[in-house]
Chains A and B, each alone.
Chain A
């Protein structure tokens, strides 16, 4: 009986993810008006199986490594892997077109493409040669790791560091006590900013006699900040998270039941 259950899950998945898409493609070619039906069936099965596996303890549904749900998890890793090449192809297409037509900013596109190809080539070389993409046995860096450490890291850190300048400028221009709500937000923000760092210790740094009092003040501000984060912030965040989760669940049900079909990418005529 165990073998039968195991095979049931495998056969159902084969039908759903092997035969149904093929039938869908055939129908799409022969009868375009039917081509939306097959993806809906695939989406329904892919969505409903993991849910059922949580509530129905049947071997063909949820057995580790054998059931339909664990197998779907494996498929998910493969599908996620496909997303990367899809993104790479998209980036190459858009930027190669820009370079080919010498549109505005084509030099940046060229730099992007060179970076993509060089980094990708070193990664593939590491995989093919067996050297990997981290460190060599003697502790030296592989070309991929060298580029990560000396090009990618500094460039990303530089871009992100610019935020400090824009945040300071934006805070000065936008953080105004225009009404009651804005004032509450402003006061909370200043309290949290002051409480997350030893601000009073910094202010008292040139004046040693004031430092003990400054340390006490910093600690008090720290406690105020913790109260804001643990109390009002935590309550608001919990509400947002629960609301978002309910929204995601509702959207998932709409997709599983075929009510939400925008992911099919069909035009109006379809």
Chain B
């Protein structure tokens, strides 16, 4: 049996061993490989950067724990970016398999980094609601119909966050349900940022952007990202953070713009997209190597068969 035959029949456990090494070594000993930014991430960053203090945006956790290493850094980076810019953030979760738990954890984590931000005034967590498409339709008519209370069961009608920009609430006056003209529909939001692993991200584009006109930025997993390039081309998406690479690029852009975040991302022990890129580079290298070896062995074997 020739070397190439043996290569073609290699026990897959050897491949698994290479995968383990390619992932674990960069995690245990980070290399700090450079990350270049792409157009879709820069477009997303620039759009968020163009928001004014006091603007209100919507962040939807539309992913589960299975893709959290890719998606968590996007959602948390977006929260940090908004808090740095004094943009108000309304958070919800529409993904049934663990979206709420991730939203709770990420919001708590980032809010702890910004103790000056007040719950109900600067940000609010509305929790999970089943039936993503139906919820989005209701958000276009009245947010309070879809989410009468926040995740803690507090009515959202009196929350200052839903007041128009720079408007203070007269004492005793109701918010959304009262006389003050508040933020009532998703159409009044400056942006929807959906961190998505499945179809829900697409619903934000085809329902909320198309029907209510709210600009949308998406943070999909790497396997879903190719689909969304078409939406960027058509102008239905303002930008995209594609997979862990997109998350790492976004972190780099935030760090460049805000020196305190550069320090944070250098020093934090939290898992970040930038740290994950080392492991991802390792695994890509292993896969490319095995594809190359497999094809060399295959082509040489075919040539030999032709001769005989």
| Residues of A that sit less than 8 Å from B by CB | 64-65, 70, 73-74, 76-77, 79-81, 83-84, 130, 132-135, 139, 144-145, 148-149, 152-157, 159-160, 164-165, 167-169, 171-173, 175-177, 186, 189-190, 193-194, 196-199, 201-203, 205, 215, 218-219, 222, 226, 229-230, 233-235, 237-238, 240-241
User: In the bound complex, do residue A199 and residue B295 qualify as a contact, i.e. CB atoms below 8 Å apart?
Assistant: no
For the complex, give the distance between the alpha carbons of A133 and B128 in Å: 11
For the complex, give the distance between the alpha carbons of A139 and B115 in Å: 13
The total of interchain contacts (Cβ-Cβ below 8 angstroms) comes to 196
For the complex, give the distance between the alpha carbons of A175 and B8 in Å: 12
Q: Which residues of A contact B96 (CB under 8 A)?
A: 84
Q: A76-B134, A202-B31, A241-B230 are in contact. Are A197 and B280 (CB under 8 A)?
A: yes
30 A–B contacts from the bound complex (CB under 8 Å): A64-B141, A65-B142, A77-B129, A84-B96, A132-B152, A133-B104, A145-B104, A149-B105, A152-B65, A153-B68, A157-B69, A164-B283, A168-B19, A171-B290, A171-B291, A172-B293, A173-B294, A190-B288, A196-B222, A196-B243, A197-B33, A197-B245, A198-B35, A199-B285, A202-B33, A218-B36, A230-B39, A237-B229, A237-B230, A238-B234
User: In the bound complex, do residue B141 and residue A65 qualify as a contact, i.e. CB atoms below 8 Å apart?
Assistant: yes
At the interface, is chain B mostly helix, strand, loop or mixed? helix
User: In the bound complex, do residue A175 and residue B230 qualify as a contact, i.e. CB atoms below 8 Å apart?
Assistant: no
User: In the bound complex, do residue B290 and residue A196 qualify as a contact, i.e. CB atoms below 8 Å apart?
Assistant: no
B260 at interface by CB-CB < 8 Å:
no
User: In the bound complex, do residue A199 and residue B294 qualify as a contact, i.e. CB atoms below 8 Å apart?
Assistant: no
Distance of A194 from chain B, by nearest CB (Å): 6
Distance of A233 from chain B, by nearest CB (Å): 5
Interface size class of B (residues with CB under 8 A): 35 or more
B110 at interface by CB-CB < 8 Å:
no
Q: Which residues of B contact A194 (CB under 8 A)?
A: 284, 288
Q: Which residues of A contact B222 (CB under 8 A)?
A: 196
Of B10-18, B47-55, B166-174, the one touching chain A: B10-18
User: In the bound complex, do residue A167 and residue B287 qualify as a contact, i.e. CB atoms below 8 Å apart?
Assistant: yes
User: In the bound complex, do residue A139 and residue B108 qualify as a contact, i.e. CB atoms below 8 Å apart?
Assistant: yes
Q: Which residues of A contact B15 (CB under 8 A)?
A: 165, 168-169, 172
User: In the bound complex, do residue A202 and residue B36 qualify as a contact, i.e. CB atoms below 8 Å apart?
Assistant: no
- Determine the residue in chain B with the shortest Cβ distance to A201: B33
User: In the bound complex, do residue A172 and residue B142 qualify as a contact, i.e. CB atoms below 8 Å apart?
Assistant: no
- Chain B 16-39 per-residue mask, 1 if CB under 8 angstroms from chain A, else 0: 101100010000000101111011
For the complex, give the distance between the alpha carbons of A135 and B105 in Å: 8
Distance of A36 from chain B, by nearest CB (Å): 26
Q: A130-B153, A152-B98, A198-B34 are in contact. Are A186 and B295 (CB under 8 A)?
A: yes
Q: Which residues of B contact A148 (CB under 8 A)?
A: 98, 101, 104-105
Distance of B290 from chain A, by nearest CB (Å): 4
B190 at interface by CB-CB < 8 Å:
no
Distance of B287 from chain A, by nearest CB (Å): 5
Q: Which residues of B contact A199 (CB under 8 A)?
A: 281, 284-285, 288
Q: Which residues of A contact B229 (CB under 8 A)?
A: 229-230, 233-234, 237
B307 at interface by CB-CB < 8 Å:
no
User: In the bound complex, do residue B152 and residue A165 qualify as a contact, i.e. CB atoms below 8 Å apart?
Assistant: no
For the complex, give the distance between the alpha carbons of A238 and B12 in Å: 37
User: In the bound complex, do residue A64 and residue B142 qualify as a contact, i.e. CB atoms below 8 Å apart?
Assistant: yes
User: In the bound complex, do residue A134 and residue B226 qualify as a contact, i.e. CB atoms below 8 Å apart?
Assistant: no
- Determine the residue in chain B with the shortest Cβ distance to A147: B101
For the complex, give the distance between the alpha carbons of A237 and B283 in Å: 26
Most buried by A among B36, B69, B100: B36
Q: Which residues of B contact A241 (CB under 8 A)?
A: 227, 230
Distance of B99 from chain A, by nearest CB (Å): 10
- Determine the residue in chain B with the shortest Cβ distance to A202: B281
Distance of B167 from chain A, by nearest CB (Å): 22
Distance of A155 from chain B, by nearest CB (Å): 8
- Chain B 83-104 per-residue mask, 1 if CB under 8 angstroms from chain A, else 0: 0000000000000111011101
Partner among B65, B138, B282, B286 whose Cβ is within 8 Å of the Cβ of A156: B65
B180 at interface by CB-CB < 8 Å:
no
Q: Which residues of B contact A80 (CB under 8 A)?
A: 130-131, 134
Q: A186-B291, A238-B233 are in contact. Are A160 and B67 (CB under 8 A)?
A: yes
Q: Which residues of B contact A198 (CB under 8 A)?
A: 33-36, 277, 281
Q: Which residues of A contact B295 (CB under 8 A)?
A: 175-177, 186
